[in-house]
Structure 1
Amino acid sequence: MDRRHFLRAAVAGAGTVAFGFSVTPTAIAYPARTGPSPYGELRAADANGIMLPSGFTSRVIARSGHAVAGTGYPWHSAPDGGACFADGTGWIYVSNSEAGSGAGGVSAVRFDSAATITDAYQILSGTTRNCAGGPTPWNTWISCEEHDGGYCWETDPWGAKAAVRRDAMGRFTHEAAACDLVREVVYLTEDKPDGGFYRFVPATWGDLSSGTLEVLTDELTWVTISDPEGRPRATRRQVPNMKVFNGGEGAFYRNDVCYFTTKGDNKVWAYNAASNTLDVVYDDNLTSNPPLSGVDNITADSHVGDLYVAEDGGNMEICVITPDDVVAPFLRVTNQNSSELCGVAFNPAGDRMYFSSQRGTAGSSSDGITYEINGPFRTSLTG
């Protein structure tokens, strides 16, 4: 049990209810409060226009419409959700393209052990508004289409196998996916003001070709969606007591908990599958001087359990939420107020972070920029 869940368990033992918030002035439970970052204050913007804590550096990995350095592959427009996959002693970063009208898809960049780019290539094309998604334990990337007729596509980060549309996972405004290895399900968010929080139960774990789509209700039960294709009735209209979430965005699973964000009300949620409880990790209405707004993509580090949440809007920050429930800016991108941050992910070692500014300095999807951050990310709660 990591510290975040230890703290929650301690509060539960003290008699709080499933939706209990902080019970002491030291905030030993959700929701997170504004406080100092474990990395210290942000420094002046570097040459790439990024404000970072001391010891961290940035570099540009790719720009939309330009060949990725050391390759002949032109980077896609509107870069969005992403993830990293181990590749021998190196790794691969995959990135969605949220371009519309069949111009979307997924690209990949391969790095060696020294973080040198060795290749870049396409692993999905011809799709529409590929927004977020999620990695699977069997090393594929689920890329999600964000429109009313959107599907999930299972892709191969190495580009050796053709991408496959996974119809059983439903047809709706998909946003993100997060795999629960214990219960063998995939959680799915929906980017609608009256969206649902779904889970897909594969008939066979490791095979997404068939299974059951379910949605969470107000009673925190899971009810089957009878028509995952949503024709003629949308999936979110099929269960009368479906619990409504205002604009589902990123999702990340860790240690029995699926963390996910809702942009319509600037909240970060935690669904604990082991205890079947739902908590609000962060709510800007319950936080003084809230540093985080326009919540979007979310990930966690591989060491201490810090959550990192990217902003769509706000002041273009990626904020950290620590296991002791403090929220603070980790970085800020300057002079890109018409963009959004997305695709936040760590390499397997946890010492490099990747993310994109979807519309870059020009405020256009054709000017997207993908970055790498390198530095002393925490390996313990004391450093």
Structure 2
Amino acid sequence: MNKTLLAVSVTIAVSGIIAVGMTHADSKNHSFSNFKQLEQSANNTDWDPALPWKLPKGFRQSVVADETALNIYDAGRDDWHDMNTVNETGNHAGRFMYRTHELRFPGNQPEGGTVSVVDLKTGEASIIAQDPSWDALDGIRWTPWGTVLFAEEKTGGRLFEMMLNTNDLTQATAVVDRPAVGRLAHEGIELDKDGNVYIVDEYRGRSETRPERGNTCAGAVPCGGGIYKFVPDTYGDLSSGSLYVLKVTGPDGTGQGEWLGPIDPLNARAAGTAAGGQSYQRPEDLEVIGNTLYVAITEGPRDETDKELYEGRIISIALDSLKVANFIKPGVNVPVEIGKPGDEGHQSGFDSIDNLAEMPDGNLMLIEDNKPSDIWVASTRTNDFGASKKVRLFASLTDPDAEGTGIYFSPTDSRTLYVNIQHSTSKDGDGTWAISKMPK
């Protein structure tokens, strides 16, 4: 692989860099579950570039790093800040934030895809890894053994493991392709306590039939859009292992699950479909909380006229029993979105859910790939059918052209939510923001 590892450092000239070191045992004053929910989504006529997030009372927002601090793709090109993680273990845990930049079509962008790093203590931002062949970098995760996983969101996309200099975590010593984990349209990446890796195929598996869009199942529908589990031969070594796909017996991808395989990781979409894997309509992110795996399914299935039957959902998978349930579904335990803010008859609701994050109190936070991009909070307490008992609207993005993404709570800073803005209307407005609960 033609690999370039760079260290382009820039000091962030903004206030609001978040101090590290606060733990999940902090006072209730910092609880993100203690808020009065918004009555409706943001109206873009209220957009203020300096305060783009509509927030509940008692919360504040500040820039962590944007394109005025580190402008990777200049000449008016957005930096496409996508997903975040920090060094969750080891020395200086919580100090360094690693971010993917979802650059697409690298042939038109000679720099290629990029991973950047921000020192949350000093405010210094830099490029840690960049390669002309990397396309649509998306998901990113810290591993318990001290490396960073990141991957490409495109058909046949690669998953990489970045090794870091133990004396300087802003420097990469190597970036290694991990084909055994699976060639897929990656977005979410998650690990469990045993070192197994969960991934998804970000594909419209229930409706997409066009070969030019990456259908590798000979035109068959459903195809792809699956949920996968990689079991390494040795804990912490992703060079070899077995890849499995989730099969679900029941209506609409809920019911009893089963891991099928091993399957061919180099042709994971077609192999997973052929094995009997469940196809979903564009799964995007995953989060393990306790012994439950939550998966964001961004779109709903479509009818014979290509009309979407519902606006996406969150499913839950009990990792011990493999029972699969609808954890959040519009019209069941969260409102259906009708129109847009300012429209007659508008109703704020759940639409095109994208990224997930575990909250410091063990609940689930979720953000939409939508305009306006809303952030929701869901209780992990469920009814007898597996649905969350309480889902509330926490925040909403006023920037008229932008999307929020990359929500993330550091395990060492429970008072702060990190969230990215991409495709901002504002010049050089793509960046990472911090939303913090103000002490009383």
Instruction: State whether residues 116 and 125 of structure 2, in contact with CA within 8 Å, keep that contact through their aligned partners in structure 1.
Output: no
Which of residues 198, 223, 229 is equivalent to 2:228?
A: 198
Q: Look up the match of 1:85.
A: 87
* Residue pairs, 1:1-383, within 5 angstroms: 38-42=34-38, 47-64=50-67, 66-68=68-70, 77-86=79-88, 88=92, 90-102=94-106, 103-112=112-121, 116-126=122-132, 127-156=134-163, 158=169, 159-182=171-194, 184-194=195-205, 195-219=225-249, 220-230=257-267, 234-239=270-275, 241-265=276-300, 266-287=312-333, 289-290=335-336, 291-302=349-360, 304-324=361-381, 325-336=389-400, 338-347=401-410, 348-362=412-426, 367-376=429-438
Instruction: State whether residues 285 and 356 of structure 2, in contact with CA within 8 Å, keep that contact through their aligned partners in structure 1.
Output: yes
Higher Cα Rg, which structure: 2
Instruction: State whether residues 217 and 242 of structure 1, in contact with CA within 8 Å, keep that contact through their aligned partners in structure 2.
Output: yes
Instruction: State whether residues 345 and 353 of structure 1, in contact with CA within 8 Å, keep that contact through their aligned partners in structure 2.
Output: yes
CA distance in 2, matches of 1:312, 1:206: 32
- Amino acid in structure 2 at the alignment position of 1:146: E
Any unmatched runs of 5+ in structure 1?
A: 1-36, 378-382
Kindly provide the CA deviation profile for residues 82-139 of structure 1, in whole angstroms up to 9, marking residues without a partner as x. Answer: 1122452651211111111342231111112xxx414433234331101223332223
- Amino acid in structure 2 at the alignment position of 1:208: L
Secondary structure, in 3 states, of the residue corresponding to 1:230?
Answer: helix
Deviates more, 1:84-93 or 1:206-215: 84-93
Secondary structure, in 3 states, of the residue corresponding to 2:180?
Answer: helix
Change (3 A) 1:253 1:41: closer
Kindly provide the CA deviation profile for residues 212-252 of structure 1, in whole angstroms up to 9, marking residues without a partner as x. Answer: 11101124221125321119x7344331x211111011111
Change (3 A) 1:118 1:272: same
CA distance in 2, matches of 1:74, 1:188: 28
CA distance in 2, matches of 1:174, 1:88: 29
- Amino acid in structure 2 at the alignment position of 1:104: G
- Amino acid in structure 2 at the alignment position of 1:332: S
- The number of aligned residues is 328
Q: Look up the match of 2:221.
A: none
Following superposition, the deviation at residue 273 of structure 1 comes to: 0.8
Considering only aligned residues, what root-mean-square deviation do their CA atoms show, in Å?
A: 2.7
Change (3 A) 1:73 1:226: closer
Identity percentage over the alignment? Answer: 25
Instruction: State whether residues 86 and 94 of structure 2, in contact with CA within 8 Å, keep that contact through their aligned partners in structure 1.
Output: no
TM-score norm. by structure 2 comes to 0.68
Change (3 A) 1:137 1:104: same
Any unmatched runs of 5+ in structure 2?
A: 1-32, 40-45, 107-111, 206-224, 250-256, 301-311, 337-348, 382-388
Secondary structure, in 3 states, of the residue corresponding to 1:59?
Answer: strand
